[in-house]
């Protein structure tokens, strides 16, 4: 099963330099994933459902997309477990004047089907037919790996970003930022909870503010580590999206983004962590060339610990890219 959506990029999709926001691309990726997974989960007779986003694996922004180009987002279901669907998405940009196309993004998303009668009830997923036997086993390994990482991430995500008065430049406190958003009907599915793509777009916006405050230049999203959606966010909730710098290399910045949901009109429910992720940004000159990034100055023990953890992720990904670049024998 495959699905494709396309649309032209408009000025309100882009930053001041004319590059399309990473959050805009993430939102389109999620829309395509939600459509194909919801279609699949309703392909057999049974209780009707809607597919909700549970996780987005790491995605790299391979090439910038500009105003006036057409984004082609293609989605395909590549694995199903009993209660989840894996969707692979590719994004191409097309210059409609020359016809030239280039790959800008590749992403893997996981969805779970929620009953329309009770959105807290997860339904079973119809199985897919694999073209070769190895595909199912490879998919099962990916499923088990992401399931384990989601649980580990949920347990270590208890802290909160706190404001600091008169912070020094290049410190974590200096650039950290928060956005408070009241969830309205336009943010939600027809069933009253927030689209995953809306949340990702807001997360990217906050991460971009943190990056811009830190280096005071034009910035672009380079990659997003796995985004985990720990719980649903309902219409009428107030969400706080907080971002803080965790690590800088010579030319990149890692920013942790946390999403907390507050059911302000329901005193029986407490504030909870709804989503979390790490975004990586790079600093660019007006000509679009990569610039050095001011080095982050961690002050507290927690900041130093997060810096070392970020450094570990950076070195691990750098080694992986170098390994992929080596010629095969």
Residue 260 annotated as catalytic: no
Hey, is 68 helix, strand or coil?
coil
Residue 15 annotated as catalytic: yes
Distance CA 310, CA 314 (A): 6
pLDDT at residue number 152: 72
Comparing CA positions, the residue from 293, 275, 308 lying closest to residue 216 is 293
List 13, 42, 105, 204, catalytic entry: 204
> Which part of the chain is CATH 3.10.129.10?
2-144, 172-324
Comparing CA positions, the residue from 242, 301, 312, 305 lying closest to residue 273 is 242
Which numeric CATH code is attached to 172-324? 3.10.129.10
DSSP string, 283-322: EE-TTS-B-PPPPPB--SHHHHHHHHHHHHHHHHHHHHHH
Architecture of domain 2-144: Roll (3.10)
Per-residue pLDDT of the chain (329 residues; tens, 9 = 90+): 789 999 999 999 988 778 899 999 999 999 999 999 999 999 998 899 999 999 999 999 999 899 999 999 999 999 999 999 999 999 999 999 999 999 999 999 999 999 999 988 999 999 999 988 899 999 999 999 998 887 776 555 667 777 777 899 999 999 999 999 999 999 998 888 999 999 999 999 999 999 999 999 999 999 999 999 999 999 999 999 999 999 999 999 999 999 999 998 877 789 999 999 999 999 998 888 899 999 999 999 999 999 999 999 999 988 887 877 655 54
List 15, 90, 157, 170, catalytic entry: 15
């Amino acid at each position: 099963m495959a699905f494709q959506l396309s649309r032209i990029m408009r000025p309100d999709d882009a930053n001041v330099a004319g590059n399309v926001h990473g959050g805009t691309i993430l939102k389109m990726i999620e829309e395509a994933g939600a459509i194909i997974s919801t279609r699949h989960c309703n392909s057999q007779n049974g209780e009707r459902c809607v597919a909700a986003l549970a996780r987005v694996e790491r995605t790299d922004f391979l090439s910038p997309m500009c105003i006036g180009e057409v984004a082609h987002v293609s989605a395909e279901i590549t694995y199903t477990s009993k209660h989840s669907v894996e969707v692979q998405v590719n994004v191409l940009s097309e210059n409609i004047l020359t016809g030239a196309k280039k790959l800008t993004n590749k992403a893997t998303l996981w969805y779970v089907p929620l009953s329309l009668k009770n959105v807290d009830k997860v339904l079973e997923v119809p199985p897919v037919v694999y073209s070769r036997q190895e595909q199912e086993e490879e998919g099962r390994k990916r499923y088990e790996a992401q399931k384990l990482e989601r649980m580990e991430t949920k347990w270590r995500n208890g802290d909160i970003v706190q404001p600091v008065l008169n912070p020094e430049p290049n410190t974590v406190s200096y650039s950290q930022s928060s956005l408070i958003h009241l969830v309205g009907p336009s943010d939600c599915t027809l069933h009253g909870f927030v689209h995953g793509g809306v949340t990702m777009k807001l997360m990217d916006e906050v991460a971009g503010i943190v990056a811009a405050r830190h280096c005071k230049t034009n910035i672009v999203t380079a990659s997003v580590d796995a985004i985990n959606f720990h719980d649903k966010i309902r219409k009428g909730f107030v969400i706080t999206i907080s971002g803080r710098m965790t690590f800088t290399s010579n030319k990149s910045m890692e920013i942790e983004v946390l999403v907390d949901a507050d059911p302000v009109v329901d005193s029986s429910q407490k504030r909870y962590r709804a989503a979390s992720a790490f975004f990586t940004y790079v600093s660019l000159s007006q000509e679009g060339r990569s610039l050095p990034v001011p080095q982050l100055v961690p002050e507290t023990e927690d900041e130093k610990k997060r810096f070392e953890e970020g450094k570990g992720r950076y070195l691990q990904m750098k080694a992986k890219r170098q390994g992929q670049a080596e010629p095969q024998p």
